[in-house]
Every structure is written in C-alpha cells, then in structure tokens.
Structure 1
Amino acid sequence: MKKTIMTNTAPAAIGPYSQAIVSALRLYASGQLGINPQTGEMNDDFALQAKQVMENISAILNEAGYVFEDIVKTTIFMTDLANFTCLNEIYGSYFKSSKPARSCIQVAGLPKGGKVEIEFIAEK
C-alpha cells in the first residue's frame, strides 16, 4: 500500500514529485528546503533556512502521523560545509533520544538558491 502525504504546513512540491510517500510502515520524504510555506519565500540566512527546513520536516512528520524519533536516515545537502557546525546545533535540537543515521554532502547548488536541503526516511 502506498499513500501520498501532502500538507499545506510545509512548502508545496516545486516539481513533479510528492512531499512524502508512506509505503507499508515507512515514510520517504522528498528533500525539504528552507521555504516558508505561508509566504513561499526563503530567507538568505543559513541558520534561518536550516531552522525552516526542520520545521518543514516536522510538518510532514505530523501530517503522516510520525515523530522525529521515527526518522531512521537523513541525507543533508549543503552548498557550503563551513556551515556544518551551525547545522549540527539546529539539527540536533530536534532529536531527543534517538538520532538517525546521516550523510552530509556539499553540492554546487540547490533549487531556488537554497543553502541546505534535507531528505529523510522514517519508520514506525
């Protein structure tokens, strides 16, 4: 069984993809940028983008009936690894007892000029 997850409290997809898909007990989420879902805008500040990314992830988790502790894997894409420490502070504040496996990759660019994007897999 496959179910598409769509919430207005996270940014709409900016291409031909879903915000997230639940398959069996697993939630596969598309990469989230730091887009404010109410305005459609993205702040230029890295820390504010990273915080908004985590809030967008929270919205998708909530819509699908999952929590941060259900996340088993994240992949982080950043345009500048000099922001790695800042990212870790913000990212770490969202995980209490269980921290997922993670990869972090520097990329040449992200959609809409984003500085950070995070995709994840969660499982109940």
Structure 2
Amino acid sequence: MSEIPVRGVDVGPETRCEHYHTDRDVVAFKFACCEPYFPCYRCHEAITDHDAVPWPRDRADEPSVLCGVCETELTVPAYLEADYRCPSCDAPFNPGCRAHADRYFEIERS
C-alpha cells in the first residue's frame, strides 16, 4: 500500500508494529539520523545500528510525522496541534505517544 518507506518490526499497512498495535497506533516518525519513518522508537532501536536522534527544533517546518491511514505527512507543530487526530482524514492517534515525545522531537522543557 504505502509508497512512503516505513521501517520497523512487523510493520502493518497502517504503520502499526510489534510494539504498538492498537487501533490508534497509526503514526510513524522520522528521526534526525534516518530518512525512513519508523512506527516507534523501539523499532528504530531494533533495526538500526545507531542511537536515535530526535527531530530537531530547527527543522520543525519539515514533515516528520506520517499518518499511517492516509499517508499525510505532518510537521511537528501540525502533529502536536492536531489533538491526536489526523487533520486530513480524522483518524485518531494514540495520546499515549505523548509519554515518548522527547524521543521523537526536540521539545522545550517548561
């Protein structure tokens, strides 16, 4: 289905993986160290030979989050402002990803 490369462990057609596979686990993330998308940081750890580098703040205007349902690519601000729903197809995203946001994006600490 996907024309956009998504790498990971047992990745399904909507970017679910071995580690996260609920109905809402339909996003994938780019890391600053890699070009393909990964469904989660654990997939990155499992199949690469280097440490993950979160998406940098100075590249926030570049797409780095993928909706696995409609393949819309989102910038970090668009993803964070979307209230855990795809702004294109309204697919629900897993709010639990918030717990790992610092693994995916350089974020400002308050």
Question: TM-score by structure 2 length?
Answer: 0.36
Tell me which protein shows more strand as a share of its residues: 1
Question: TM-score by structure 1 length?
Answer: 0.34
Tell me which protein shows more helix as a share of its residues: 1
Greater RCO structure (CA 8 Å; 6+ sep): 1
Q: Which has the larger radius of gyration?
A: 1
